[in-house]
């Protein structure tokens, strides 16, 4: 009758090799594998049939930490607009200074033209997007404007004249919500002035600044007591990607753009957040802008 082991013993038994002190004797047997030799000084040692070397906890911990660092460094980030290019502008405009200076040569006369930034503005409900334009030369007629537009918006004309384009103009201080008829918004501006455009995705509106002053509040400069801006300039169309846009129609006009490569003239984003609060979406959002701009 063949020798058999009890079922419980068979489940816990693994093939092992018992090596005697005699080099030529090798005896295979079925025996439960002990965690360690019962007698370390015994010449009989028990070895598992297969030995898999595992990394120590220290090495594995180091490896995991290295993977985490690589993941963070390779995290996908949507780039923000950083310059203007020749590939996305009207033919009469000249792009210089690594894409941060735009001008309209005198030979083009008063033909209004626009340029669109190199990429769209990434939506971030925790941060306000903002960029500035400095008017180096207002040119002949002061027809300059900045704002934002969709990818398929026409680049012929001034910012805000076409559908899915919005702009604030220097010659009349008006804002243009996708049509050629402007609405009174803020002061006129010209050579030496710094104009900023901000996008508040959290509350759903766009605003402007002029020489480090937020135009959503009454103008406090002498001689402008009657100028009352209606709050936000425009409401945002939900789901529409928008690009920074600058245009001009004055011969010899020239502007420089700051996408954050240097310090902004206006630094009141934190103060603005505190003033508006988290529950200002209705007051400063779509309802106010639709009433003033005719947007829906």
Residue 127, pLDDT score: 85
pTM for the predicted model, two decimal places: 0.67
| 234-235 and 101-103 strand pairing | unpaired
**Count of CB atoms situated within 10 Å of the CB of 228:** 12
Q: Who's near 102: CB < 8 A, 6+ residues apart?
A: 84, 89, 93, 94, 95, 96, 115, 246, 248, 254, 255, 257
pLDDT along the chain (296 residues), means of 10: 54 49 49 52 50 49 43 56 96 96 93 96 90 97 96 96 96 94 94 96 92 73 47 86 97 96 90 62 43 41
Structure tokens at 103: 């001008």
Domains and CATH numbers, the chain: 7-73 (no CATH), 84-293 (2.60.120.920)
What is residue 82's predicted lDDT score, i.e. its pLDDT? 96
Rounded Cα–Cα distance for residues 79 and 279 (Å) = 29
* pLDDT at position 246: 98
Q: What is the CA 131 to chain-centroid distance, rounded?
A: 13
């Amino acid at each position: 009758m063949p020798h058999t082991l009890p079922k419980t013993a068979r489940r816990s038994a693994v093939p092992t090799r018992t090596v005697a002190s005699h080099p030529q004797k090798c005896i295979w047997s079925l025996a439960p594998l002990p965690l360690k030799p019962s007698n370390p000084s015994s010449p009989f040692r028990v070895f598992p049939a297969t030995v898999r070397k595992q990394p120590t906890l220290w090495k594995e911990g180091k490896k995991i930490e290295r993977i985490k660092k690589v993941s963070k460094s390779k995290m996908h980030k949507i780039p923000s607009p950083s310059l203007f290019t020749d590939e996305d502008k009207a033919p009469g405009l000249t792009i210089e200074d690594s894409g941060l200076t735009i001008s309209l040569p005198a030979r083009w006369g008063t033909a209004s033209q626009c340029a669109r930034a190199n990429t769209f503005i990434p939506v971030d409900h925790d941060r306000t997007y903002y960029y500035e334009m400095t008017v180096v030369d207002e040119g002949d007629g002061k027809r300059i404007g900045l704002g934002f537009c969709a990818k398929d918006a026409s680049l012929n004309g001034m910012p805000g004249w076409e559908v899915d384009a919005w702009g604030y103009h220097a010659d009349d201080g008006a804002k243009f919500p996708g049509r050629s008829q402007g609405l009174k918004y803020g002061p006129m501006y010209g050579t030496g002035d710094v104009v900023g455009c901000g996008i508040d995705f959290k509350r759903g509106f766009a605003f402007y600044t002029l020489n480090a002053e937020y135009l959503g509040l009454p103008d406090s400069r002498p001689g402008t007591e009657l100028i009352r801006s209606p709050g936000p300039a425009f409401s945002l169309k939900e789901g529409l990607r928008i690009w920074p846009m600058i245009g001009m129609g004055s011969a010899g006009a020239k502007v420089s753009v700051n996408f954050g490569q240097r310090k902004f003239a206006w630094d009141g984003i934190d103060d603005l957040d505190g003033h508006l609060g988290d529950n200002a979406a209705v007051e400063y959002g779509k309802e106010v802008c639709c009433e003033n701009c005719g947007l829906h």
